[in-house]
Amino acid sequence: MQRTIFSLAFVAIILSSCGGSKKQEVAETPTLSGLYASKFKGTVDEKETALYVLKNTAGMEVTVTNFGGRIVSIAVPDKNGTIKDVVLGFDSIGAYLGNDSNFGALIGRYGNRIAKGQFTLDGTTYNLPVNNGENSLHGGNKGFHNTYFDIRQIDDQSLICSYTSVDGEAGYPGNLQVKVTYTLTDDNAIAIAYEATTDKPTVVNLTNHSYFNLSGDPRQTILEHVLFINADRYTPVKADLIPTGKINPVKATPMDFTTPTVIGDRIDDATFEQLVFGTGYDHNWIFTASNDVNTVACKLICPSTGIFMEVYTSEPAVQFYSGNFLDGSQTGKNGIAYRQRTALCLETQHYPDSPNQPSFPSTTLRPGETYTSFCKYKFGVE
């Protein structure tokens, strides 16, 4: 009997090795937002790309890729408990590489615009890539959004993105050591802490460029969203969206969001020149409670889902951009074309063109100093 059992086992092994029994493949489990980690495996600058997943105890999920340190998805429950992905992006690394976009990216060295791609620091003039008319925007086409960040995941709820921007990269002086920490808190907030040091005087203005649509369906616009900005002043711009240098009150203008206001109510007011210049909102608001991380700086609400997002920051200002230049040419997650005003950005920051505007708060960083900035996007339902 023992010999018979041995023989049957031997035959089974032979059949298995010859394909007599097929090995069952285990299906890859998607993230809450429907992404597959395997689709984010690739190479950038001869380094491997990946998708990193953060989850908290409340059921919220955030995914990040090391290409541009980008937030790829933010999955939160709506008022009915249905999970919604509330940021724009793509479902594979190849799609990011094939699009010159800022979706979800860390922005540097200088977020926003610098006039004519030029600034002077300590008597030396530096020339930057021009990629927005005559101006430099978000560090140029090879800004941080198109570079590789080393990512170290600390635990289920936090990771660190690191990058060294070498002296002369994109025209900026100094070797800049950058560290950005993403932390997903148990009260459904994604906190972003920035640090940077330099070995030469330089300018720095880091931010995140996530596009939000709290409906979770970017086939819908954000025009029905309700927005509050705790700011009583803003920096008006010229036709090329470079600040004039003035600081104007928002009161009695379409720029006043000091009380919660439906975004679409005034966005196409052709009698207000600033909205004509921006084709909608694309301006810098100055917070009333500047640098106060415990005060709500902005609050965005989607009436249909009940999802709200509060913004807290150590920065003095925010760029509210209403997705005016999205034109349907980019197809994102779930095969949805991203059309005009299907999402908005709330980029915490120092003012645009500060290196050329002596009256604006300084963005100069010198050796021995540490640049720090903090922003938190907190989600809930009401």
pLDDT at 19: 47
Give the best-scoring range by mean pLDDT among 4-8, 23-27, 374-378: 374-378
3-state secondary structure of 173: coil
* Length of the chain, in residues: 382
**What residue segments make up the domains of the chain, in order of their start?**
37-381
pLDDT at 90: 98
Q: What would the mean pLDDT of 361-376 be, rounded to a whole number?
A: 98
Pair 54, 156: CB distance under 8 Å:
yes
Residue where the block lists tokens 């020149």: 273
Please determine, for residue 18, whether its predicted confidence score (pLDDT) is greater than 50: no
Pair 201, 360: CB distance under 8 Å:
no
Q: What is the pLDDT of residues 33-90, one digit of tens each?
A: 999 999 999 999 899 999 999 999 999 999 999 999 999 999 999 999 999 999 999 9
Q: What is the pTM of this model?
A: 0.92
The answer to which of 5-14, 39-48, 103-112 has the lowest mean pLDDT is: 5-14
Please calculate the CA angle 279-283-284 and round it to the nearest 5 degrees. 175
CA dist 73 and 90 (Å) reads: 9
Dihedral (Cα; 253, 255, 260, 261), 10-degree rounding: 80
Active-site residue list: 209, 347
**Residue 239 tokens, joined:** 């036709």
CA dist 129 and 289 (Å) reads: 34
pLDDT at 5: 36
Domain 37-381: assigned CATH number = 2.70.98.10
CA dist 376 and 356 (Å) reads: 28
Contacts of 180 (CB under 8 A, 6+ apart): 69, 106, 149, 160, 161, 162, 192, 193, 194, 195, 206
Buried b / exposed e over 241-275, threshold 16 CB at 10 Å, is bbbeeeeeebeeebbbbeeebebeebbeeeeeebb
pLDDT at 17: 43
- CA 127 to chain CA centroid, Å, is 26
Q: What is the DSSP string of 187-237?
A: TSEEEEEEEEEESS-EE-B-EE---B-TTS-TTS-STT-EEEE-EEEEE-B
Contacts of 40 (CB under 8 A, 6+ apart): 49, 50, 51, 65, 72, 92, 93
Q: What is the pLDDT of residues 259-315, one digit of tens each?
A: 999 999 999 999 999 999 999 999 999 999 877 899 999 999 999 999 999 999 999
Where is 347: in which H helix or E strand? strand 345-349
Q: Which amino acid is at 9?
A: A
Q: What is the pLDDT of residues 150-208, one digit of tens each?
A: 999 999 999 999 999 999 999 999 999 999 999 999 999 999 999 999 999 999 999 99
Where is 17: in which H helix or E strand? helix 2-17
Q: What is the pLDDT of residues 196-230, one digit of tens each?
A: 999 999 999 999 999 999 999 999 999 999 999 99
